[in-house]
Structure 1
Amino acid sequence: TLMRDTLYSIIMIVTGGLVGFSLLLGGRKFATQYMNLFGIKQYLIALFPLAIIVLVFPMALPGANFSTGQSLLVAVISAAMYGVFLLIQTKTHQRLFVYEHEGDSDDDDPHHGKPSAHSSGWHTAWLLVHLVAVIAVTKMNANPLETLLTSMNAPVAFTGFLVALLILSPEGLGALKAVLNNQVQRAMNLFFGSVLATISLTVPVVTLIAFLTGNELRFGLGAPEMVVMVASLVLCHISFSTGRTNVLNGAAHLALFAAYLMTIFA
C-alpha cells in the first residue's frame, strides 16, 4: 500500500497544504494575486482522471482492486496521459503555462531555466534512470521506516506522508519562494507539475516492478480519503477558475488539508 498512500499524500499535501499555505502567504502580502487560469486548468484536466482511475475506481471493481491486466493498462494510461501533457506544455501550447507579467525579473534569476544542449531522448533516458533509482531507494527504506513507525504506534498511512514530504520538499521550497515574489504562476506550475509527474511516472514503473516480481499492489482508497481528495481537486478548480486568488482561497485549501490529516490519524 506504500505507493497508494504516497500518491494520496502527494495530492493532498500539494492541493491542500502547500497550495493553501502559498495562497495564504501571497494573499497577506499582495492582497490579490493573478495567474494564467488556462494553464492551471491543463494540470487539473490531466490530474483529475488519473487520480480517479488510480485511487478511486478500483474500489468499484470486484475484489476492490485491479487485476494484473488492469494494472498494466492503468500504467499505460498514466504514461500516455503524461506524454500528451508534455506535448502541449513544451510544444503546442507553451503560452498557457506563462503569466506574462512574471517574466520581468527572470533575467536576474539564477534558477531560471536555460535551454539544454542535450536531446529530448537523452533527458528521457536519464529521467527513467533517476526514477528507478528513487523508487528503489524508497522501497529499501520503506520497511525499516514502517517498523520504526509501528514501534511508535504511528498510523500505517503516516509512512506515505513522510515519503511524500521528501519527494515534494525541493519543489515546495522553490514554489513558496516564487509566491512571495508574486510569481504565483511559477509556483503553481511547480506544485501541480510535481503531482502530475509523480503519479504519471510512479504508477507505470512500480506496476511493472510488481508484475516482474510477482507482488500485488493495492490501489483504491477508503471512503473518507476519497471524499477529501475529490473535494480538494474540485476546490482547486474553483479557486483558480477566475485567474485571481486571495487569503480566502488559501484558508479553504488548508481546511481540507486539516481534513486530510484527520484521515491519517483517525
Structure 2
Amino acid sequence: MTHACEAVKTRHKETSLILSLSVVILEVSLISALMATGDAAPTLMRDTLYSIIMIVTGGLVGFSLLLGGRKFATQYMNLFGIKQYLIALFPLAIIVLVFPMALPQANFSTGQALLVALISAAMYGVFLLIQTKTHQSLFIYEHEDEGDDDNPHHGKPSAHSSGWHTVWLLIHLIAVIAVTKMNASPLEALLTSMNAPVAFTGFLVALLILSPEGLGALKAVLNNQVQRAMNLFFGSVLATISLTVPVVTLIAWATGNDLVFGLGAPEMVVMVASLVLCHISFSTGRTNVLNGAAHLALFAAYLMTIFA
C-alpha cells in the first residue's frame, strides 16, 4: 500500500496527502468496527488519538532523529513548514483532548461534540489550502540529499499510470478494511482475556495504522530526507485528528454510542510536553541525536501512562 502511494505521489505533488488519508480511513474503519461489536469502550477514539500523537511525536520522531543524527550528525529541514503543522495540531489536540476536562460535566455534550467535529474539519480544510495552493514552498526543503537513496528509481515516474496505482491502493484499502471488520470481535475478546489496560486498545489501533507511514518515513530519514519524513509524520497526525473526530462523532451520534474526549491529568501532561518539545526541537531547522533522545524520553513516559 505504501508503494502504491509513493508511486502516485511521484507523478503528482497534489496527491502527497494520499497516505495520510489512507491512515485515516484505516483508523475510522478499525474504530467503527470495534464500536459495532458493542464492547468498545467510549474512550476508544480518545485513546487512539492520544496514542497516535505520542507514537508519532515521541516514538517515531524520536527514533528517526536519533538514527538520522547518528548517521549524518546534523540534519536540516524547512522549519516554517514544520511550524505550520504544529500551529494546526496544537489547538486541535488541546480542544479535543484537554478542554473537555475543564467543562462542568468533564466531557462534551452532543451539541458541543458536533461543533468540535466541525472545527476539526474546518481547520484541516484551511491547512490543505496553504499546503496545496498558497504556501507549497513551506513544505519543501530544496537541499535534501537524494544521492544516498538506495532506490535508483527515486523521483522517476512509475512504469504504471497514477490511475493504476490509485486503483491498486483502493483495492488494498478495501481488503484491509474487510479483514479489520472480520477480526474486530476476536481482537476485542483477546484483549479482554488478556486483561489488557483499556488504553492498550487505542495503542494497538494506532500502532497498526501508523506502520506504513512509519516505515516510509524512517527510510527517508536514513536517506537524509528528514523534511519528507516529518511531512509524513505530522501530516498523518493532523489528518487523523481533523478527520477522525468528525467521522467517529457522527457515527457515534447516529448509532447512539457514547464518546469520552478528555484525557486524564498524567496523559495531558505527557501530550502537552511532547507537543511543546516538537516546537523546541524544530525551532532552528536543525536536529541531532539529542533531539531524538529527548523525544524518546517522553515516549517512555507515554508508555508508563498506559501500563502503569
- Is the structural similarity TM-score above 0.5? yes
The percentage of counterpart residues that share the same residue type is 93
Q: Residues 130, 16 of structure 1: CA spacing in aligned structure 2 closer, same or farther, 3 A cutoff?
A: same
Contact 2:69 2:289 in 1 (8 A): yes
Moved more, 60-69 or 253-262: 60-69
Moved more, 129-138 or 92-101: 129-138
Q: Residues 235, 89 of structure 1: CA spacing in aligned structure 2 closer, same or farther, 3 A cutoff?
A: same
2:163 equivalent in structure 1: 121
Contact 1:26 1:33 in 2 (8 A): yes
- Which one of the candidate residues 236, 239, 248 is aligned to 1:194? 236
Q: Residues 80, 3 of structure 1: CA spacing in aligned structure 2 closer, same or farther, 3 A cutoff?
A: same
1:1-266 aligned within 5 A: 1-102=43-144, 141-266=183-308
Structure 2 distance, partners of 1:116, 1:18, is 28
Q: Residues 58, 240 of structure 1: CA spacing in aligned structure 2 closer, same or farther, 3 A cutoff?
A: same
Moved more, 128-137 or 52-61: 128-137
Contact 2:66 2:288 in 1 (8 A): yes
What is the CA distance between 1:156 and its match in structure 2? 1.2
Aligned length: 266
Structure 2 distance, partners of 1:111, 1:200, is 34
Structure 1 distance, partners of 2:261, 2:177, is 17
Contact 1:106 1:112 in 2 (8 A): no
Structure 2 distance, partners of 1:204, 1:132, is 21
- CA displacement, residues 70-98 of structure 1 (integer Å, 9 cap, x when unaligned): 01001101100001001000000000000
What is the CA distance between 1:243 and its match in structure 2? 0.3
Structure 2 distance, partners of 1:14, 1:159, is 17
Structure 2 distance, partners of 1:119, 1:125, is 10
What is the CA distance between 1:51 and its match in structure 2? 0.4
- CA displacement, residues 92-114 of structure 1 (integer Å, 9 cap, x when unaligned): 00000000012755999688689
Q: Secondary structure at the match of 2:155?
A: coil
What is the CA distance between 1:144 and its match in structure 2? 3.2
- CA displacement, residues 173-227 of structure 1 (integer Å, 9 cap, x when unaligned): 0000000000000000000001011111111100111111111111111000000
Structure 2 distance, partners of 1:117, 1:76, is 41
What is the CA distance between 1:143 and its match in structure 2? 4.5
Structure 2 distance, partners of 1:2, 1:109, is 39
Runs of 5+ unmatched residues, structure 1: none
- CA displacement, residues 4-33 of structure 1 (integer Å, 9 cap, x when unaligned): 110000000000000000000000000000
Contact 1:175 1:188 in 2 (8 A): yes
Normalising by structure 1, we get a TM-score of 0.89
Structure 1 distance, partners of 2:174, 2:268, is 28
Structure 2 distance, partners of 1:65, 1:132, is 34
Q: Residues 155, 110 of structure 1: CA spacing in aligned structure 2 closer, same or farther, 3 A cutoff?
A: farther
Q: Secondary structure at the match of 1:236?
A: helix
Moved more, 148-157 or 214-223: 148-157
Q: Residues 108, 23 of structure 1: CA spacing in aligned structure 2 closer, same or farther, 3 A cutoff?
A: closer
Structure 2 distance, partners of 1:12, 1:255, is 11
Structure 2 distance, partners of 1:24, 1:36, is 19
What is the CA distance between 1:146 and its match in structure 2? 2.9
What is the CA distance between 1:148 and its match in structure 2? 1.0
Contact 1:179 1:187 in 2 (8 A): yes
Q: Residues 120, 72 of structure 1: CA spacing in aligned structure 2 closer, same or farther, 3 A cutoff?
A: farther
Contact 1:75 1:207 in 2 (8 A): yes
Q: Residues 115, 57 of structure 1: CA spacing in aligned structure 2 closer, same or farther, 3 A cutoff?
A: farther
Normalising by structure 2, we get a TM-score of 0.77
Q: Residues 204, 112 of structure 1: CA spacing in aligned structure 2 closer, same or farther, 3 A cutoff?
A: farther
Q: Residues 52, 142 of structure 1: CA spacing in aligned structure 2 closer, same or farther, 3 A cutoff?
A: farther
Q: Residues 3, 127 of structure 1: CA spacing in aligned structure 2 closer, same or farther, 3 A cutoff?
A: farther
Q: Residues 76, 240 of structure 1: CA spacing in aligned structure 2 closer, same or farther, 3 A cutoff?
A: same
Structure 2 distance, partners of 1:136, 1:208, is 21
What is the CA distance between 1:116 and its match in structure 2? 12
Contact 1:145 1:159 in 2 (8 A): no
Q: Residues 176, 118 of structure 1: CA spacing in aligned structure 2 closer, same or farther, 3 A cutoff?
A: closer
Moved more, 158-167 or 123-132: 123-132
